[in-house]
Structure formats: structure tokens, C-alpha cells
Structure 1
Amino acid sequence: MISKTAMITICGRPNVGKSTLTNALVGEKIAIVSNKPQTTRNRISAVVNRGDTQFVIIDTPGFHKPRTRLGDYLVNVVKESVADVDAVMLLVEPIANIGRQEEELIARIKETGVPAILVINKIDTVEKTELLEVMALYSAAHDFDAIIPMSAKNGEGIDELLAELEKYAQEGPQLFPDDMICDQPEKQICAELVREKLLLCLDKEIPHGTAVEVTRFSERENGIIDLDVTIYCEKASHKGIIIGKQGAMLREIGKQARGDIERMLDAKVYLELWVKVKEGWRNNQYQMRNFGYEEQ
């Protein structure tokens, strides 16, 4: 019986591994992952039940210098997520240098007074002796409650991290049902999985100028899911690239997305993808709100 809860925010610069860590903690893929910055756009709450404790892990967008209204929204999501939680995990790479993004996040942590753990990710990419300098540097910058070296990719350090997070659990009722692993509806996760494939299959700026909307999500009597998804891009030239020669790129995006969606839903999926142009939507407050990227 769960009797304690802990709300924990993960923050860090883009591409540091926040979504990979979220998925590793949950044990299932709920947050999309790519090697491109600004992959995560919304605040995602993952639910991890361990013993008598329910952890609510808040995955946030990468903290970066915004260049669009959408970028402003993403940065504000991070700033707001660092307050009103039981603790914050600052996720960093094993590099002996504190960058501007990390400095700003540490300043925000100090401003809110929230307890913080430093998590050094990607330790599988360096020699263990190199971590000592990184740990010393961050220890001098802030009095972190703990420093946990880990690899979200291979799971090293996950148990130690959860044991540390348990110290912040408060007595009280659980916030989510036992069988719930994410606060995002299945429809939204499906849209995000399609957007992940855009990030993986397309180059440069094009995937960052896309938004994805599920326009139909229905289940047949035989259990097959019918899924209609519209991909919005900012330029007519981008539409042609997304569709590809004789539709080859769009078919590949659909094939990859359908596989992940079927595993997530545990059902056969009939996926239809459409591509439409909405010029400059990332700087249009009304259109951003339609895509769920603006406070109501």
C-alpha cells in the first residue's frame, strides 16, 4: 500500500538525457528521445511506484536560449517546474565545466530554495577518474544534497538514485492510480511518438518547425486502433521534404511510429499521416495554444 509520495523535477540543458532517464525510471517509453535539442516540449509527469512510495518524476524541456515564442514557452516550463516540488535533479554531462545553462539553473534552484541532487549522466562515456573533477566543480558551485554518477542509457546508478530520492518522500495519499505510468493521455503520447520519428528521420531545422496533432483515435470492435495524425510544418518546401520522393519519407516515418505506438498500446494500429503547412506557427500565440504549447 503506497503511503508516501515525492514530486521530483528533472532539469538540465538540451540533449543531456532527461527523457532517457525518465524512461529508465519508469521502465517503459513514455518520453520521446532523439539526439537533437529541444526534443521534449511539454512538462511530462512520469509515475514510478516503488515499495510504499510513489515518485512523480517531472521531465522538462531542455533549458536553452529561446529564439521563438515556442522557445520562450519551453524555458518558462522549466522555470516553473523547478518550484513547488520536493526536490530537483540537475542532470549534467561528465564535463569539468559549468556552462551558462547550468549556472542559470543553479541560480534558479538557489532562488527557490528547493533541495537539489546533482546527477552526472553518461558516465559510460568517460573514465571514472574524470568524474572527480566534475564533482568538485559542482560541489563548489552549490551545496547539493547528493551527487549521483549514473548512465541512464544502460541503467547504472538507477537504484542508487531512487534510494536517494526516497529521502524526499512525504507521508500522504498517492497522486496517481497504481497502473498509471504517465499523466499524458494515450492520444498525446501517440502524437509525440510521431514527432520523435520526424526528429530522427529529418535533418537540421525542419523537425523543430513541426507540430503533430491526432485528429482521430478510435477503436474497432476487433480491437484495431484507427489513428489519423496531421503533421504541421512552417514552409511548403518543408512539406515536400517530409513527404519525400513518391511519399517515401512519410511512409518511413509512419512505419517507425506505428511500431512504437503498437507496442505502447499493445494493439494493432492503422495509422494515416497527413502533412499541412502553417507558416510561422512557432511565433503565433493562437496556433501555439491550439497545439497545447501555451498557457490557457
Structure 2
Amino acid sequence: MRETRLADDVGASEAGRAPGRVRSAVLGYLALTKPRVVELLLVTTIPAMLLADRGQVDLVLILNTLFGGMLAAGGANALNCVADADIDKVMKRTARRPLARSTVPRSHALVFGLALSVGSFFWLWWTTNLLSAHLAAATIAFYVLVYTLLLKRRTSQNVVWGGAAGCMPVMIGWSAVTGTIGWQALAMFAIIFFWTPPHTWALAMKYKEDYRAAGVPMLPVVATERQVTKQVVIYTWLTVAATLALVPAAGWLYASVAALAGAWFLTLAHRLHAGVLRGDPVKPLRLFLQSNNYLAAVFVALAVDSVIPLPTLF
């Protein structure tokens, strides 16, 4: 009788733990995709599609492209987690990632990342066109093979060139609508390309000891704060210039937001550099957080300008 009750208690305990394990596994696989990164990438895709099909909104095409882009970004991020599992355990900022905590087996994460990547190719091919599918596949390959495996641990310019992968969603969105790559897509690519270094270096300044411990030569690890903030200012100017280069394709609303938001972003970058020159305590996290708001403001303005029939400036 006592043994029966004990067996029942053990069985009930195991049954109670099962949902918790399932939930933990689901959350682990979701974390591998880095949802916040995926969200930012997809936010830039929609304005690119709306600009490409100015005045028209093909909701089905947008949703299909976003889903394919979500699969591609999630697959690339999962494969990045597999490749960086060793350094994620060392860095405090990434110590809670699934592979660092062993909540997801590394082999399972690899299969998961590959499945999402292959799925994104065939989804985009089926629902949009072959060019978009190839661009997505090239983005995944570049992010994993070139940035993660080749550049990240070897050069302080890793995020400059590796950041090109984060620029590709606008190209995919534009090509999904037009089947081509226009100069407007290249201009949007340039905006994100030049925005990535100041955005990432600001975060790396905050966590440079993490990167140093992991042996990742991010610019703030190998250069002085004065040198880093000077580069931040230069790339911020290039970012704002790239947004203004897109003005001929947009209307006055986008032009106004790009100019005002650009002035604000430049002010933040110059204040960070000036503070370093004065010897003030460095607080780069504000620039990192506000850089997200800046990019969102520019692309939301572009989306609204593309949908509402406002007069263009040229």
C-alpha cells in the first residue's frame, strides 16, 4: 500500500514537471532566434516593400515576406548561437542564452537553425520570387560563415563588414515586390550599414570587459574611448547622409523626420565624444538604446510617406 502511494506521488510529480520542461524547451528554442533582433530586422522590411510599391499595400505579400524573413533571421541567429556557444558562457551579457545554460542541446540547436534557414529559402521562393530566396540564403551564409566564423574573433572591424547581413532585409523586401534591386534599396542598405557600427560599438563600450574576457576584439576592447567615440561620430554622420540620399524617392514627411531625427542622433553621438574628451564618466548605453528609436523613426516615416499620397520633393 505504501509503495503504491509512493509510486503515485512520483508519477504525479513527474506529470507536474512535464509542462514545465516543455515550456522551458519552447522558450529555449525561441530565445535561439533572438526575437528582439528579428523584430528590428522586420521593421525595416515593411517600409522597403511599401516604398517599392508606392501607394499600394499587398498585405498577403507583406505577410509572406515577413514570415520568410523571420525564418531566415531566426535560422541565422540560431546558427550564430551554436558557433558562439563557447564565448556566450564567458560573457555575462550572454550567459543566460540557451546553449550557455545547456537548456537546449547544441546538436538540436544546429538542426533547428538549419531547418529554419532551409525553410526560409523555400518559403520565399514559393510565396515571392527566387531572387528574394537567394538573397535570404546569401544573408544567412554571410552572417554565419563570414561574420561569426571569420570576422568576429579576428578583427575590430567585425561589425562594420559583418553588419552587412543586417542590411539585407530591405533588399529582400524590395526584391519581393519588384523582382529587382533598385537604387532605393541600396540607399536603405547604406542607412543600416552605417548605423550598425555606432549602435553596436556603444553597447560594446558598456560590455567591453565581457568581450575582452571572451577574446573578441571589438573596437572598444582594442582602442581608446576617444578613438571609439570618434568613429561613432563619423559613422553617425554617414548614417544621416544616407537617410538624406533617400529623400528624392520619398516625400516631405520622410524628409522632415530624417532631418530632425538625424540632428538628434548626431547630437547624442557628439555629446558622447565630447564627454570622453572632457574626461566625464562614459555612458554609452543611452546612445545604444536611442539608436534603435532613431532607426525606427526614420523607417516608420518612410512607411507612412509611402502609403499616404504625399507630394515628393523632386
Shared fold, TM over 0.5: no
Larger radius of gyration: 2
Structure (1/2) with the larger strand percentage:
1
Higher helix share: 2
TM-score normalised over the length of structure 2 = 0.27
